[in-house]
Amino acid sequence: MNAPEKFELTQVRFMRAPREKVFDAFVDAAVLRQWHCPRGMSVTEGRSDPRSGGEWQLAMQARDGTRHVVGGTFRDLKRPERLVYTWAWLGENSPLPGLETLVEIQLSERDGGTELSLRHSGFPAGAARDAHTQGWQSTLNKLVDHVDTRGTAANLVLLGDVRSTYTRTVRMALAEKGLSYTMRSCAPHAPELLALNPFGRIPAFRDGEISLFETSAIVMYLDEAFGAGPTLRPGSILGRTRCEQWVSAINAYMYDTMVRRYVLQYVFPRGEGGQPDRAVIDAALKEMPGQLAALDRAYGAGDWLVGGALSAADLFIAPILAYVEGMPEGKALLEAVPNVRRAQAELCQRPSFTSTDPSLPPAAHP
């Protein structure tokens, strides 16, 4: 009779850190508590007895309070080269009750840093392996954040054009969360971009092995995966819903009117004789007052679109309004909406806005 098939996963990561530091990050309980869980979670308890036969255990907690406990026994430790230990989910929230799997880690010196090769074996099904693959990808990102000299910039890569309002929205979100990142200038439909976004639009984003496209999805990920900085979506159900409402409205209506059919007609004129197409501009100018009036009512006496504090909705509209204001009819349009003008002036004072000015070279930013 054939033995049942077992499934395994592998991960390979490079980090600018000595092997000793990476090895210790897996066995020192105090250090484990700082990184050993997927993004958006935290380690609330941890213990480690790093010797052959010694036990380790960690308690991870999600933002909704759900608790997951994992532990095992060290099988082999050869500092700073090799580490082998068992892995088992414990308690009532165990996704694989009664199952023990094996983690093998090899650390090799490479290019002045460390290459980590991880093999996690013994899964009974592909679905269990795949779920752990996603967990390890996110968890190893946190390890790299912790030990690599580049911090989060070793993982976080933004592909786009600094002139793009959507790229600037993501850059503002990164700045608000206090995250260092690597900016890569990339045109729409470039091969590097298509590898992350099959539709070829900017921006696209990578966090280690994790990739995302669509600005609203990227901003949501940054907000939920990183606890630092302000929350970019309100805490209440109604607040989050209205934030999504305005993000959707900006994407569906205002971007087309204010950017595609107005700003870009001046920036990249395609009319007769290389001049701006007045018919397109004039049609957009008829629609903009109504859209700006809707924003003006939403702001009211406050400085933020929803929830009484900065949210993702403000990060989407601010770069657009900045361009509108710089166009020939822009100042007059904004004069008619004092609440919008006041709120925009407030946001323009924030470091996230000033540091992402598209006239500044990308290298000047974190």
Which CATH number does the domain housing residue 36 bear?
Answer: 3.30.530.20
Is residue 1's pLDDT more than 50?
A: no
Instruction: Dump pLDDT digits (tens) for 176-196.
Output: 999 999 999 999 999 999 999
- Widest CA span of the chain, in angstroms? 82
Q: Does some domain include residue 2?
A: no
Predicted pLDDT of residue 227: 83
Is residue 306's pLDDT more than 80?
A: yes
Please state the φ and ψ torsions of residue 54, each to the nearest 5 degrees: -75, 155
The domain that holds 287 is classified in CATH as 1.20.1050.10
Q: Indicate if 167 and 204 belong to the same structural domain.
A: yes
Taking the mean position of all CA atoms in its chain, how far away is CA 342?
29
Q: Indicate if 27 and 99 belong to the same structural domain.
A: yes
Which one of 96, 129, 149 terminates a domain? Answer: 149
Q: Does some domain include residue 125?
A: yes
Contact present, 62 and 224 (Cβ < 8 Å): no
Alpha helices in the chain (DSSP H): 19-27, 29-35, 126-147, 165-176, 191-194, 215-225, 237-249, 264-267, 278-299, 312-325, 330-335, 338-347, 351-354
Q: Does some domain include residue 366?
A: no
Q: Indicate if 22 and 99 belong to the same structural domain.
A: yes
Alpha helices in 195-277 (DSSP H): 215-225, 237-249, 264-267
Please state the φ and ψ torsions of residue 220, each to the nearest 5 degrees: -60, -40
Q: Indicate if 79 and 157 belong to the same structural domain.
A: no
Which one of 206, 230, 254 terminates a domain? Answer: 230
Per-residue pLDDT band at 95 (split at 50, 70, 90): confident
Q: Indicate if 106 and 205 belong to the same structural domain.
A: no
Sheet with 182-185, edge to edge strand ranges: 182-185, 156-160, 204-207, 210-213
Is residue 343's pLDDT more than 50?
A: yes
Per-residue pLDDT band at 361 (split at 50, 70, 90): low
**Domain extent for 18:** 7-149
Predicted pLDDT of residue 264: 95
Q: Indicate if 38 and 139 belong to the same structural domain.
A: yes
For residues 120-156, one letter each, b for 16 or more C-beta atoms within 10 angstroms of the residue's C-beta and e for the rest, the string is bebbeeeebbeebbebbbbbbbbbbbbbbebbbbbbb
Does the pTM exceed 0.85?
yes
Is residue 344's pLDDT more than 60?
A: yes
Is residue 47's pLDDT more than 60?
A: yes
Q: Indicate if 349 and 245 belong to the same structural domain.
A: yes
End-to-end distance of the chain based on CA atoms, in angstroms? Answer: 59
Q: Does some domain include residue 359?
A: no
Q: Indicate if 29 and 101 belong to the same structural domain.
A: yes
Question: Mean pLDDT over all residues of the chain?
Answer: 94
Q: Does some domain include residue 84?
A: yes
Q: State the Cα–Cα distance between residues 111 and 261, nearest whole angstrom.
A: 49
Instruction: Dump pLDDT digits (tens) for 230-243.
Output: 899 998 999 999 99
Q: Indicate if 95 and 203 belong to the same structural domain.
A: no
Which one of 118, 149, 180 terminates a domain? Answer: 149
CA nearest to 20, candidates 77, 87, 99, 89: 77
Predicted pLDDT of residue 273: 86
Bridge pairing between strands 42-48 and 7-15:
unpaired
User: For a pLDDT cut of 90, what percent of the chain falls above it?
Assistant: 90
Predicted pLDDT of residue 94: 86
Domain count, the chain: 3
Predicted pLDDT of residue 366: 40
Predicted pLDDT of residue 245: 97
Angle at 305 between CA 303 and CA 309, to 5 degrees: 60
Is residue 2's pLDDT more than 60?
A: no
Q: Indicate if 77 and 89 belong to the same structural domain.
A: yes
Q: Indicate if 128 and 20 belong to the same structural domain.
A: yes
Q: Does some domain include residue 299?
A: yes
Per-residue pLDDT band at 118 (split at 50, 70, 90): very high
Q: Does some domain include residue 193?
A: yes
Q: Indicate if 267 and 178 belong to the same structural domain.
A: no
Q: Does some domain include residue 81?
A: yes
Q: State the Cα–Cα distance between residues 248 and 195, nearest whole angstrom.
A: 26
Please state the φ and ψ torsions of residue 72, each to the nearest 5 degrees: 175, -165
User: Residue 70: helix, strand or coil by DSSP?
Assistant: strand
Predicted pLDDT of residue 364: 39
Per-residue pLDDT band at 365 (split at 50, 70, 90): very low
